[in-house]
Each structure stands twice: as C-alpha cells, then as structure tokens.
Amino acid sequence: MVGKDEKTYDVMEIRREFPILERQVNGHPLIYLDSAASSQKPRAVIESQREYLSHFHSNIHRGAHALATQATEAFEGSREIVREYFNASKSSEIVFTSGATDSINLVAGTWGRSNLKSDSTILLTRLEHHSNIVPWQILATEIGCNIEVVDVLSDGSLDLSDFNEKLSLKPSLVCFSHVSNALGSINDVKKLTSLAHHAGSVVLIDGSQATPHCQVDLQDIDCDFYAFSGHKMYGPTGIGVLYGKLDLLELMPPWRGGGEMISSVSFEEPTTFNIPPYKFEAGTPNISGVIGLAQAISWMKSVGVDKIAAHELALTDYAHKKLLRIEGLKIYGTAEHKAGVVSFLVDGTHPSDLGTLLDQLGVAVRTGSHCTEPLMKWLGISGTVRASFAAYTTFEEIDALVAGVERAIKMLR
Ligand code: PMP
C-alpha cells in the first residue's frame, strides 16, 4: 500500500523494517504516536549493534589486536558518517556524548564556565525543553550572570521582534531549539543565528527534534554549537552528538577527566590534554551506540529525509483537520512551519485520563508538560496530550487516534 501523500513513499514497506510495530498492546495493534519522545528502531540499526557485539566488540583506540582495530575503524568511520551527513567541515567537530542533555551540559560546563562572567547575559526562549534551560540556570547561579527569555507568539512561533529587542542586551550566548518538542514549531535557525552573530553572541542550537525530520546543514546554519540525540532519529539510546566549531572546541577547557582525553599525565608536570573531539570523550565511549547512530543515518538517507519530511507534513495537516472536528478540542501550536507534533486538550477531560484510555486501545501518546514547564505556564495549562509522528506513521493510525479520542470523551464527560 502506498502512503496517501505521494506514490513513491511506501509507508507499509517502511513499517516492515520496524519489528516493534508488529506487536500488540492491550489486545490491539500498537499505534505508536510517541516518536518525539523516542523513535522506534529499524532492523538495520538493531542488526548493526548485534553484529558489532557478536563479531568485533573490543575497546577502541588503544588495542594492539585485530578486534580493537576493527572496532576503532567502525567507531571513527561512524564519526565521518555523522560529519558528512550534517555537513560539518571537520570530523574533529563531532563530539560523541550520551545525548542532547549531555551535549548542552558539556557546553555549559566548559565554554560557559570559562567565558561567562557575572555581567554576562544568556538569552534563552520560552519554547525550550528543560534540557536547554536548567544547565544554564545552574551555571548562572554559580557565576551570578543574567538569563533573559524570548517570548513566543500565540501560534507557538518565536516572537522575532522580542528576539531582536533582547539581542540589544548583547548576550554572550543565545540558545534556542530548532524544533519545539511541545508545539512542533520550526525556528528559522539560519536567520536567528545570523541575527545573534550580528549582536556578537555565540549560538547554541538544541536540534533534538529537528534531526529526525529534516536535513540539517551545519555549515549553512553557521551556528557555533548544535546538540542532538540518537534515539529520536531512529538510533539507539545513550548516544548523542555535540557539534562545535573547531576554534571554539580547541579553546574550551576539558569536560570530564579520565582516559583518552589526555595527551600526557604526570604528577611532576601539568597534565596536558588531547585535541578535540577526544578532549571531550573521557573513558570508554558508547561504541555500539555510535555504530547504531551511523546506521540510523544511513537508513534515513536510504529512505530520503525529504520524503520523510513530506510524509510527516501531510500527516500533521491531516491530524489537524481531523482532530479539529472534535467539539471542544483545542490544538496548541499552529505555527505555519511545524514538524510532526500535535499537542491538544479537550474541554472537560484531563490529558492523563485521555492518555490512559488511548493506551487501552493500543494508542501510545505522551501527556503532561513535555519537560517545558515555563511554556505550559505561559500557555496557562499544566500539560497537553501530544501525538507525534515519524517515517512509519500512517493516516489510518491518525484515524484510530481520532476515534480513540472520541470514544474516550464519551467515557469521561
Ligand atoms: N531538547 C528537546 C527539544 C527534546 O525534545 C529533548 C528530549 N525530549 C531533549 C532536549 C533532551 O534529549 P535527551 O533526553 O535525549 O538528552
């Protein structure tokens, strides 16, 4: 069967590559609409990790044997796959971390701690996930610097005039998400980066929700740092990336101390540190995670990221239209440019009750604040029901969501 959006996109063929989609939940076929929290994994990713663990597992970089060489080649080859896919200019700009949260904490703990002063300003936005708020709050408390927040408009897009106004404060650092996890709004990151650079700021982008949905060209965006997680883009959990421009990474002090991140260690002389990216990769890394992430990228390339994006856009439009037919249902986040996320509330029902009843029908959605409490507070709500889509989502699954919501409403009202 062919996806409704375009003939070349065979969603059923894609689904066959995801073993988990064959399972039943609560007696119903699984309808997985929680991909923004974590996407499911294609067989190619699962197999790549199994293959590594079964045939060439070894620690990397320092072994004098065949397995160590093979594992090192796979690990560093994966770094090159990531570099090429995201169009970073050098593979030394790709630092492997445990996820977006870890990547942002790395920048806060190194670049932030050594560059920000008590009279500095960090500019954030009200759209941010807690991962792009709390590390900055911890740092700001430590060094006594100021945090300013850019507002959002009622449709969930960023308030550009407020962004420009706050840039007049000459923030040292400007941090914003590429795509909002709660509302789906897509920021024009190239434009925001250019405006922030004009104000003399360093720019960090949280790309966690963008990498599953669009092609990210780091040199084109020209940001200084870009953070994302593997598990949201069909890759494994526990692996993420911090992209940083090499001149910044070179000047940054190390992050965690340990093996691999040093050049020489001495009790008599000062210990010296390795070059990026190794300076920031202390200890044994998540080798199978890195291999799985590279495989996820290859998988996305084989399907075509633009095709996935077009399919998800069609799904999002369809979901908006169908859900809005339900009386008393309000969608939060109606920006013109949106990724595959639909957040909503229904009059007279609590989101967690809706989530529980949908789960009984096999429909997996997320409910709550989605780690965006400041945004929810600004919206005047405590949370939403969030349905999120991926390459394998079908229009029929959205029909099932709508039918499930209608059924739940009858039970709850
Ligand atoms: N930022 C955004 C926008 C997210 O959606 C998430 C995950 N919910 C994160 C950061 C944190 O990602 P991770 O938990 O993989 O570190």
Where in the sequence is the domain holding 106, given as residue range(s)? 46-302
CA of 226 to the centre of ligand 1 (A): 13
Residue of 98, 136, 209 best suited for mutating to test ligand 1, as the one with most atoms within 8 Å of CB: 209
Q: What pLDDT digit, counting tens, does each position of 234-275 carry?
A: 999 999 999 999 999 999 999 999 999 999 999 999 999 999
Let me know: does 128 contact 135? Beta carbons within 8 Å: no
Residues 6 or more apart in contact with residue 24 via CB below 8 angstroms: 30, 362
The tally of domains found in the chain comes to: 2
SS3 146: strand
Same domain, 286 and 384: no
Beta strands in 169-280 (DSSP E): 173-177, 202-206, 225-229, 240-244, 262-264, 272-273
Same domain, 51 and 192: yes
**pLDDT on residue 62:** 80
Instruction: Return the residue whose CA atom lies nearest to atom 12 of ligand 1.
Output: 100
Instruction: Evaluate the omega torsion of the peptide bond into residue 19 and state whether it is cis, within 30 degrees of 0.
Output: no
Strands 225-229 and 240-244: antiparallel
CA of 99 to the centre of ligand 1 (A): 8
d(CA 379, CA 182): 11
Instruction: Return the residue whose CA atom lies nearest to atom 14 of ligand 1.
Output: 101
CATH number, residue 175: 3.40.640.10
Q: Is 40 in the pocket of ligand 1 (CB under 6 A)?
A: no
Same domain, 328 and 254: no
Q: Which residues are catalytic?
A: 371
Same domain, 316 and 401: yes
**pLDDT on residue 5:** 45
Angle separating helix axes 189-198 and 160-167, nearest 10 degrees: 20
For the four alpha carbons of 379, 381, 382 and 386, in that order, the dihedral sign comes to negative
Q: Which of 282, 302, 322 is the last residue of a domain?
A: 302
* pTM score above 0.85: yes
SS3 32: strand
H-helix or E-strand containing 103? Answer: helix 100-107
**45-60 per-residue burial string, b: 16 or more CB within 10 A, e: under 16:** bbebbeebeeebeeeb
Phi-psi region of 23 (alpha: psi -120 to 50; beta: other; left: phi over 0): beta
Q: Is 208 in the pocket of ligand 1 (CB under 6 A)?
A: yes
Among residues 234, 246, 239, 228, which one has the least CA distance to residue 178? 228
Same domain, 161 and 52: yes
CATH number, residue 337: 3.90.1150.10
Q: What pLDDT digit, counting tens, does each position of 367-376 carry?
A: 999 999 999 9
Q: In angstroms, what CA-CA distances link 156 with 128, 338, 342, 397?
A: 12, 10, 12, 25
Q: Is 131 in the pocket of ligand 1 (CB under 6 A)?
A: yes
**pLDDT on residue 90:** 98
Q: Is 101 in the pocket of ligand 1 (CB under 6 A)?
A: yes
Tell me the average pLDDT of the chain: 96
Instruction: Pick out the chain residues at pLDDT < 70.
Output: 1-7
Q: Which of 302, 337, 360 is the last residue of a domain?
A: 302
Amino acid at 39: S
Among residues 62, 47, 101, which one has the least CA distance to residue 291? 47
**pLDDT on residue 176:** 98
CA of 174 to the centre of ligand 1 (A): 18
CA of 64 to the centre of ligand 1 (A): 38
